[in-house]
Structure 1
Amino acid sequence: MDGNYYLGLDMGTSSCGWSVTDEEYHVLRRHGKALWGVRLFEGAKTAEERRMHRTGRRRLDRRGWRINILQELFAEEVSKIDPGFFLRMKESKYYPEDKRDINGERPELPYALFVDPEFTDKDYHREFPTIYHLRKWLMETKEVPDIRLVYLALHHMIKHRGHFLLSGDIEQVKEFKNTFETFIQNVKDEELDFDLEITG
């Protein structure tokens, strides 16, 4: 292009306008066409949507990780009385015809949690209409509860709140007894500190 000219740009979030003029701002022509126009494109997006999806994935991953740790802690004791308990819980989201038992076969009973002859899901839900009824009963009972009931209560608490972002290796936990005794001692220490604050 001969002579001096100006190139003007108007850049927006979803378009870019352009024009070519001479020194007196007359639009120039080239090959019979005016040298001006606009290019449209998809508008820019913020990182908020991606961040929300990423946060959701991390939250679900952490929840799954906490539940896996809980299952590892309870696996040995639960398997002594009900080897298929965890598998039934995992498969409870499926239709009955899609469920499988520990042998890979379709289970004979439609229950999702308990298949004992004297205690089934019907009995469980009749005794504990909600998980909060179970949690209340476990706090107040003097009898030794079924280990599966304890697991269900802890599963609910860990799934919906709290975290296990603690240092250390889960492989170092050899038995639940020591972990539980440490927990009880921590609770007693907290109660003692609280009493000292009140009386002090």
Structure 2
Amino acid sequence: MTLQVYGDLGSGNCLKVKYIADATGTPYVWHDVPVRSGGTATPEFRALNPFGQMPVVVLDDGRPLAQSNAILRYLAQGSRFIPTDRYDAAKVDEWLFWEQYSHEPTVAVARSRVIYDGQDTAKLDPVLVGRANAALDRLEQALTGQVFLVGNAMSIADIALLVYTRSAPDAGLDLAARPAITRWIAACEQELGLTATAAVIKGQS
């Protein structure tokens, strides 16, 4: 299977797809669609995803699949990134839902307003920042005393939450004061073969 992936590597949701494809050894061709370039509004892209959202993958048989966490689940089937235990697998899904409902709409949105809209971190909506910090506090609490989110092994729950957490300092969100998160980022980087980043201190992605 050679996957066709449409996305922007500056997007955390798109990076999820790259990380799981690399980790599972899934061959893919990356088609760059820059954020806010208008590329998702073309008839060709809307034929793949009528909602005009990235990422989108196209399977060998031509079927498209959208939504980053759905793609994560598809590519991770049968791999070590989805637990075989039924309860643990459900806990992974619990984190995937939470990521899209509580984490991405706060942490990722705050980062987007800085990176793409040019807002100063000091001028971000305090309500948004408060919710983003609450999401990071919840993650810190969950990771305290354990290496990964579910069980003793890395799962797609970790990949889903890693991408925007790792770049949260871009929005002025403090990770250095959250030691469980910083240890978890380092553990995920090691598992995925990513270059260790100073993101937790300097806001690099």
Greater Rg by CA: 1
| TM norm. shorter chain > 0.5 | no
Structure ranking higher in strand proportion: 1
TM-score between the two structures when normalised by the length of structure 1: 0.25
Q: Which has the higher contact order (CA 8 A, sep 6+)?
A: 2
